[in-house]
Homo-oligomer: A and B are copies of this chain.
């Protein structure tokens, strides 16, 4: 099932630069693994913001929470989740 997730990253200004880079690299690696596994189905940057809009394809809300809460940037993100479902007018098979 699909969930619409917005993530906004808010680093503290006094964060150690090296730690921030390592966190971002870890986040990218985990994000790409989840994309390859089909869990993180879409990932877009919101223009002008350190934020993304994503579509997750998971087995349950619990699955979604496990995935999101293990992201390396989770402690630094404001996350908003909305449940999606198939639209009666959609003709795209995978807009489930």
Residues of A within 8 A of B (CB): 1-5, 11-15, 27-28, 31-32, 35-36, 41-50, 52-53, 60-62, 64-65, 68-69, 75-76, 79-92, 95
Contact = CB atoms under 8 A, between A and B. Distances in A.
B15 A53 contact: no
B53 A84 contact: yes
Sorted from nearest, which 3 A-B pairs have the closest CB atoms? Answer: A61-B83, A62-B85, A47-B83
A60 B84 CA distance: 10
B84 A83 contact: no
Contacts of A95: 42-44
A1, A60, A85, most chain B CB atoms within 10 A? A85
A49 B64 CA distance: 11
A80 B91 CA distance: 23
